[in-house]
Amino acid sequence: MSAFQDPFDAGTALTRGCSCGNHRDQPEHDAELTHGGSDALASRVVDQAVMRALFPRDAERRRFLAAVGAQTALAAVAGLFPLAAAREAFAQGTGQIEKPNLKVGFIPITCATPIIMSQPMGFFGRAGLNVEVVKTAGWAVVRDKTLNKEYDAAHMLSPMPIAITLGVGSRPIPYTMPAVENINGQAITLSIKHKDKRDPKSWKGFKFAVPFDYSMHNYLLRYFVAENGIDPDKDIQIRAVPPPEMVANLRADNIDGFLAPDPVNQRAVYDGVGYIHTLTKDIWAGHPCCGFAASKEFVTQLPNTYRALLKAIMEATAFAAKAENRKQIAEAIAPANYLNQPVTVVEQVLTGTFADGLGNIQKVPNRIDFDPFPWHSFAVWIMTQMKRWGQLEGDVNYASVAREVYLATDAARLMKEVGLTPPAATTKKFSVMGKEFDPAKPDAYLASFAIRRTV
Amino acid sequence: MKGLHFWGAPLLSVLMLLAFLAVWHAGTLPQTGVQVVDPEYAKLVGAEAATGRKSAFPTPAEVGRKLWGHLTDPFYDKGPNDKGIGIHLAYSIARVAAGYLLAALVAIPIGFLIGMSPLAYRAFDPFIQVLKPISPLAWMPLALFTLQDSAVSAVFVIFICSMWPMLINTAFGVSSVRREWLNVAKTLEVSALRKAVRVILPAAAPTIMTGMRISIGIAWLVIVAAEMLVGGTGIGYFVWNEWNNLSIANIVSGILAIGLVGMILDQLLARLTQLVTFPE
């Protein structure tokens, strides 16, 4: 008995042809039935499941139906089992958006591109959502406003949902990250006065800024200097400064450099205060940076809203992934309502044709790229670095935390819907500065570093 | 001589302003540097960076242009993150008013109680002494964590910072009402409530108003910082947002607006103080 057949029909053919006999085979019958409307179809699937549970054997079901008639059978079953309620419960899975008016917080950086461009370019509107994207002053405020439920969802740094779930630096609250927003797109920028100190080994005593303690920026900068023999806790100083304040601090000589998201790096070049030393894509090609995050509560209690919101962001990500759309996006997100930057700065970041601060024009088309798939391996790598620098102590079940927080299954399903090709696996090996990371052996990886805080 | 006495001060003020603008203008004169990079590169960076320098402080004329732009269109609304300076100021004033009035409702009755009863004064004193010097912004993370709402937290921070001057001044004003007046009230067997309303309140009113005037000044100082922290709306957010864009001209416009509104608030309270002051 196929899932779309009428379970109250005693004459349903079990082998050949279709159940009503008017079609060549069952798929054709089902296809026509589907045109009758997905609601009728959905309730039939529910009835079907109930009847199958009540009468596991087809012969028995037929005898029962033939003896009492379809109407009586329907009434009898409905008396035993709340069919109407079950139909309704099932219908909700594909139905109405529970909460069309949403607030999503963001930090004014190009990493937030898929989230903020969805507003002016209409991706949210087409999904039936009215989303207000709210500019926020810093990561700690984004975290607190999201935990307070002032924001329904937010743009976060990809380590933040992991830290929040584990209760590192905040109360433990189950959090999820169903999509990565951007890959690559960060850079190490140094003050123009250090024009001649290109060798990281000469950076002892430098003061660096990163956007947040729980950020890829922090982990990548630490990784980069440590690989060059500099201990990030002893030889240099790293402080958390919100991205918008970084250029002002670099200008004032408060810091010697930063590993920051764009447009901060490009803005430092634009204002003549810094030069781009290393793009993070040359540290780890394809690393995740920011993500779209929501609480587990939001995901489970407003499933339709969550799906619509995520799908809009996936569509925007797919649109942003195409190089030919980047100029248009730069114009949409540069105004005061979003990034509040000169268009040329945003354009240089997104197109990858940029001034490096030393008088050269570089062409790196994949300086920033957009790929929404939240690889579980990313989460595992982040946790190894959290342990490496003493943010996370004790044993941690890497795989299960990664699975709980990085919702790869949801991402894969929606990626298919918007025409992207999701990978078949959720883990992969990758290399950071030439050193391979195997997500199956996180502890061995951690132990292989000479400079680390954990024993 | 009388004319000079009347016109001297404003004249001097204008001269000082002109001198300041002249120094500013001279200090920020655009230098005609030689372009040190090729034209294609120059298109990608700011004008100063193209001549090998850092971007400069804006000239008075640039700030004036920005200021004129804000003044001619103060109430535009182009979405949640781009509103006119007038709307931001209105948000800030509303927050200050809410926190300030709440503080007055709490601080003046408690101040009365403390001022009238030496026992209450000694009991409250340690708390006041510890809580008074805490920077209001230090309350912010705590408020966000417990109150779970950034708008309420901002109002709370205003509330907590404007409370102490009012409380202390009320207590001081009430406790230093002249003995003779209280004795007269006692001789006439005036009821406690009547004594409070008809004798103590009028006598302490000027001191209370002074406390309120100090408070409004502090509240206006704090709201700017609080809004820079929580963001969203308000003049503090406006300044932060322009800092983010490194637009010094807009920041200067914001600073001027903050100063003007602060002055107006202070003058309002000064007028009210004059109303309740009495000649002895």
Per-residue tokens: A304: 């339709």
Q: How far apart are CA B199 and CA B73, in angstroms?
A: 50
Q: How far apart are CA B114 and CA B172, in angstroms?
A: 9
DSSP state letter for B196: I
Contact B81 A359 (CB under 8 A): no
To the nearest whole percent, how much of chain A has pLDDT over 90?
10
Q: A318 lies in a domain? A: yes
A368-369 and A186-191 beta bridge pairing: unpaired
A290-295 and A153-157 beta bridge pairing: antiparallel
Position of tokens 């609250």?
A173
The closest CB to that of B244, out of A144, A244, A337, belongs to A244
Per-residue tokens: A223: 């990784």
Residues A320, A179, single domain; the answer is: yes
Residues A175, A311, single domain; the answer is: yes
Domains and CATH numbers, chain B: 85-276 (1.10.3720.10)
Per-residue tokens: B189: 């067997």
Q: How far apart are CA A69 and CA A82, in angstroms?
A: 20
Given a cut of 70, is residue A21 above it in pLDDT?
A: no
Give the range of the structural domain holding residue A66, as residue numbers without chain letter.
26-92
Residues A277, A298, single domain; the answer is: no
- Tell me which of B44, B137, B224, B253 to substitute to probe the interface with A (most A C-beta atoms closer than 10 Å): B44
Set of chain A residues whose Cβ sits within 8 Å of the Cβ of B246 = 247-248, 267, 271
Q: Which residues of A409-434 are buried (b: 16+ CB within 10 A; e: fewer)?
A: ebbbebbeebebebeeebbeebebee
**Tell me, what's the pLDDT at A8?**
62
Top-confidence range, B134-138, B243-247, B271-275 = B271-275
**Tell me, what's the pLDDT at A26?**
57
Per-residue tokens: A386: 């959290």
Average pLDDT for A416-437: 86
Pick the residue from chain B with its C-alpha nearest to A264.
B244
> pLDDT grade, residue A146 (50/70/90)?
confident
Whether the bond between A263 and the residue before it is cis, its omega within 30 degrees of 0, is yes
To the nearest whole percent, how much of chain A has pLDDT over 70?
83
> pLDDT grade, residue A40 (50/70/90)?
low
Residues A317, A438, single domain; the answer is: yes
Given a cut of 60, is residue A96 above it in pLDDT?
A: yes
**Tell me, what's the pLDDT at B94?**
93
Average pLDDT for A102-120: 88
Residues sharing a CB contact under 8 Å with residue B8, sequence separation 6 or more, in sequence order? none
Set of chain A residues whose Cβ sits within 8 Å of the Cβ of B36 = 359
Contact B80 A337 (CB under 8 A): yes
Q: How far apart are CA A64 and CA A56, in angstroms?
A: 12
Q: Is B78 on the interface with A (CB under 8 A)?
A: yes
Q: How far apart are CA B101 and CA B130, in angstroms?
A: 23
Which residues share a beta bridge with A237? Answer: A207
Chain segment B76-107, per-residue pLDDT in tens: 877 777 788 888 999 999 999 999 999 999 99
Average pLDDT for A135-159: 86
Read off the CATH number of the domain in which A265 is found. 3.40.190.10
Contact B150 A355 (CB under 8 A): no
Pick the residue from chain A with its C-alpha nearest to B56.
A271
> pLDDT grade, residue A393 (50/70/90)?
confident
> pLDDT grade, residue A11 (50/70/90)?
low
B256, amino acid identity: L
Q: How far apart are CA A266 and CA A141, in angstroms?
A: 25
Q: A56 lies in a domain? A: yes
Residues A398, A442 contacting (CB under 8 angstroms): yes
CA distance B3 to chain A (A): 48
Q: A33 lies in a domain? A: yes
Supply the mean pLDDT for chain A. Answer: 82
Q: A10 lies in a domain? A: no
Per-residue tokens: A254: 């408060």
Lowest mean pLDDT among A23-27, A292-296, B38-42: A23-27
Residues A299, A356, single domain; the answer is: yes
| H/E element, B253 | helix B248-276
CA distance B247 to chain A (A): 10
Lowest mean pLDDT among A53-67, A77-91, B48-62, B158-172: A77-91
Residues A174, A195, single domain; the answer is: no
Q: A112 lies in a domain? A: yes
The last residue of one of the domains, among A75, A92, A109, is A92
pTM: 0.75
Chain segment A240-270, per-residue pLDDT in tens: 888 878 888 888 888 999 999 988 999 999 8
Residues A260, A385, single domain; the answer is: no
Set of chain B residues whose Cβ sits within 8 Å of the Cβ of A135 = 80-81, 231-232, 241
- Tell me which of A101, A116, A144, A253 to substitute to probe the interface with B (most B C-beta atoms closer than 10 Å): A144
A→B contacts (Cβ < 8 Å), by residue, are 108, 119, 132-137, 140-141, 144-145, 148-150, 192, 244-245, 247-248, 251, 267, 269-273, 335-338, 340-342, 344, 348, 354-355, 357, 359-361
> pLDDT grade, residue A65 (50/70/90)?
confident
- Tell me which of A150, A195, A254 to substitute to probe the interface with B (most B C-beta atoms closer than 10 Å): A150
**Tell me, what's the pLDDT at A86?**
54
Q: Is B150 on the interface with A (CB under 8 A)?
A: yes
Q: DSSP characters for A180-239?
A: E--EE-EEEEEEGGGTT--SGGGGTT-EEEES-SSSHHHHHHHHHHHHTT--TTTTSEEE
**Tell me, what's the pLDDT at A411?**
86
Q: Give B80: exposed, middle or buried? Use CB within 10 Å, 0-12, 13-18, 19+.
A: middle
Determine the 3-state secondary structure of A280 from DSSP. helix
> pLDDT grade, residue B19 (50/70/90)?
very high
Contact A244 B240 (CB under 8 A): yes
Q: Is B226 on the interface with A (CB under 8 A)?
A: no
Residues A332, A210, single domain; the answer is: no
The closest CB to that of A137, out of B43, B46, B228, belongs to B228
Q: A245 lies in a domain? A: yes
The closest CB to that of A355, out of B44, B78, B241, belongs to B44
Residues A370, A273, single domain; the answer is: no
Set of chain B residues whose Cβ sits within 8 Å of the Cβ of A137 = 228-231, 237, 240
Residues A97, A309 contacting (CB under 8 angstroms): no
Residues A165, A217, single domain; the answer is: no
**Tell me, what's the pLDDT at A24?**
58
> pLDDT grade, residue A341 (50/70/90)?
confident
Q: Is B175 on the interface with A (CB under 8 A)?
A: no
Pick the residue from chain B with its C-alpha nearest to A333.
B81
Average pLDDT for A216-241: 90
Given a cut of 50, is residue B196 above it in pLDDT?
A: yes
Q: How far apart are CA A140 and CA A43, in angstroms?
A: 46
Q: Is B10 on the interface with A (CB under 8 A)?
A: no
Contact A141 B230 (CB under 8 A): yes
Residues sharing a CB contact under 8 Å with residue B203, sequence separation 6 or more, in sequence order? B173, B177, B178, B181
Residues A274, A373, single domain; the answer is: no
Q: To the nearest 10°, the Cα dihedral for A312, A314, A317, A322?
A: -100
A189, amino acid identity: T
Chain segment B110-163, per-residue pLDDT in tens: 998 888 888 888 888 898 889 888 888 888 888 877 887 878 888 999 999 899
Average pLDDT for A358-383: 88
Chain segment B220-236, per-residue pLDDT in tens: 988 888 888 777 788 98
Q: How far apart are CA B182 and CA B240, in angstroms?
A: 52
Residue A316: how many other CB atoms lie within 10 Å: 26
Q: A209 lies in a domain? A: yes
Given a cut of 70, is residue A12 above it in pLDDT?
A: no
Supply the mean pLDDT for chain B. Answer: 85
Contact B149 A148 (CB under 8 A): yes
Contact B246 A132 (CB under 8 A): no
CA distance A158 to chain B (A): 22
CA distance B231 to chain A (A): 6
Residues A276, A194, single domain; the answer is: yes
CA distance B58 to chain A (A): 13
- Tell me which of B150, B244, B247 to substitute to probe the interface with A (most A C-beta atoms closer than 10 Å): B244
Looking at the structure of chain A, the number of domains it has is 3
How many residues comprise chain B?
Answer: 280
Pick the residue from chain B with its C-alpha nearest to A151.
B149
Q: A452 lies in a domain? A: no
Average pLDDT for A164-187: 85
The closest CB to that of B246, out of A137, A150, A248, belongs to A248
Q: Is B230 on the interface with A (CB under 8 A)?
A: yes
Q: Is B144 on the interface with A (CB under 8 A)?
A: yes
Average pLDDT for A186-193: 91
Residues sharing a CB contact under 8 Å with residue A139, sequence separation 6 or more, in sequence order? A107, A156, A157, A160, A211, A212, A214, A215, A242
Set of chain B residues whose Cβ sits within 8 Å of the Cβ of A245 = 243-244
Set of chain B residues whose Cβ sits within 8 Å of the Cβ of A254 = none
Average pLDDT for A117-126: 86
Q: Which residues of B214-233 are buried (b: 16+ CB within 10 A; e: fewer)?
A: bbbbbbbebbbbbbbbbbbb
CA-based nearest residue to A180, from A193, A162, A194, A168:
A162
